[in-house]
């Protein structure tokens, strides 16, 4: 049995961290669903930048958009929604079969709005409505400014993938924003079943400290952060406040492991996937890592519910001079800036392609 199936059987959802029109048109994504237990998909500006830049399959749609007077962000969201609604339809059987727990695709609001609460809320509502799909998450960064937008979007009934979380503290803040939105729906007499995941990024921790720590600690920080966060996740699922919401019909916000591709060429190609095996979570993994995982026949033990040796490992990093709280804030800030950079590059790619297509017409 493939390791992908083993993880699925243990209760972890495998989502692909990629989307291209070629993946859809070639039937490759459907094959991943049928053969590799893939039940969802995430996207971000970097993914779409690479997809549109490296393919001609978007040219017809760009021409059609230009003919309608679309440019820039408006044209991009048309392209993205075309892809993601097709992906959402592909995952719809999993979504229906699990009563909305699984089978999701994700679309990010403009990263330029990361520090603009009001505009983020408006964009989330608009994109969700335009998709016309019940299984499309709108991604909102779990930044300080993003937290009120998350609460408000959940209250409005918009399914949210909280992105750019790096630490236990950032995760807990986003989970509480989600729960506040749900509690407001309960108080207002609204259906409290609004889907959400909280995406905690893992591998970037190890990249950030690789040159600053002794070799014995290499590739251990991200996994330790994950252990600490997983413990808090399970505690939140079981606390009285959450259980009151569940009793009123709410659904738990699931923890999602993001950035789980191995960056160190000397480490296992499924280092993080094996370490993060845990029920009632999601692992969204790059295509290369998914294919590597499929070649493996075993995955090892599940994550320890109590975090295992995470605190001991984190103490060793502290002694090595790593300030985890400061680094978490830095990584979130850098992540937001990286998405803005990719967003601008993406819009430039679309503008350049648009100009070429106009000249060729």
Q: Evaluate the CA torsion angle 278, 279, 284, 288 in order and state its sign.
A: positive
Catalytic one of 139, 144, 212, 344: 139
Beta bridge partners of 16: 41, 285
- Residue 110 CB partners (closer than 8 Å, separation 6+): 73, 123, 343
Distance in angstroms (rounded) separating the CA atoms of residues 278 and 73: 37
Distance in angstroms (rounded) separating the CA atoms of residues 197 and 162: 6
- Residue 65 CB partners (closer than 8 Å, separation 6+): 71, 74, 75, 78, 79
Residue identified by tokens 């990263």 is: 111
Distance in angstroms (rounded) separating the CA atoms of residues 344 and 349: 9
Residue identified by tokens 């995982």 is: 293
Can 356 be counted among the known catalytic residues?
no
Catalytic residue positions? Answer: 139
């Amino acid at each position: 049995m493939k390791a992908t199936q083993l993880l699925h059987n243990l209760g972890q959802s495998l989502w692909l961290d990629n989307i291209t029109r070629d993946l859809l048109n070639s039937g490759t994504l459907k094959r991943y669903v049928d053969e590799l237990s893939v039940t969802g998909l995430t996207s971000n500006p970097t993914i779409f930048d690479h997809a549109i830049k490296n393919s001609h399959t978007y040219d017809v749609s760009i021409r059609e958009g230009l003919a309608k007077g679309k440019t820039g962000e408006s044209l991009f969201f048309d392209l993205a929604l075309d892809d993601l609604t097709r992906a959402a339809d592909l995952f719809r059987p999993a979504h229906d079969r699990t009563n909305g727990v699984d089978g999701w695709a994700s679309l990010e609001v403009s990263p330029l709005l990361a520090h603009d609460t009001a505009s983020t809320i408006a964009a989330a509502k608009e994109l969700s409505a335009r998709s016309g799909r019940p299984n499309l998450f709108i991604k909102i960064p779990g930044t300080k400014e993003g937290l009120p937008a998350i609460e408000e979007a959940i209250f409005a009934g918009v399914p949210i993938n909280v992105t750019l979380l790096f630490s236990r503290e950032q995760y807990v803040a986003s989970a509480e924003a989600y729960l506040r939105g749900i509690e407001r729906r309960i108080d207002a007499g609204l259906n409290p079943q609004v889907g959400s995941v909280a995406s905690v990024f893992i591998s970037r921790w190890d990249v950030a400290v690789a040159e600053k720590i002794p070799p014995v600690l290499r590739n251990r920080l991200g996994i330790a952060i994950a252990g600490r966060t997983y413990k808090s996740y399970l505690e939140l699922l079981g606390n009285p406040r959450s259980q009151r919401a569940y009793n009123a019909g709410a659904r738990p916000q699931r923890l999602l492991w993001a950035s789980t591709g191995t960056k160190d060429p000397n480490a296992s190609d499924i280092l993080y996937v094996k370490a993060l095996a845990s029920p009632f979570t999601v692992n969204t993994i790059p295509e290369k890592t998914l294919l590597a995982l499929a070649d493996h026949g075993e995955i090892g033990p599940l994550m320890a519910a109590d975090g295992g040796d995470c605190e001991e490992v984190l103490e060793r990093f502290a002694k090595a001079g790593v300030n985890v709280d400061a680094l978490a804030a830095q990584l979130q800030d850098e992540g937001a800036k990286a998405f803005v950079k990719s967003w601008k590059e993406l819009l430039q790619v679309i503008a350049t392609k648009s100009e070429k297509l106009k000249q060729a017409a």
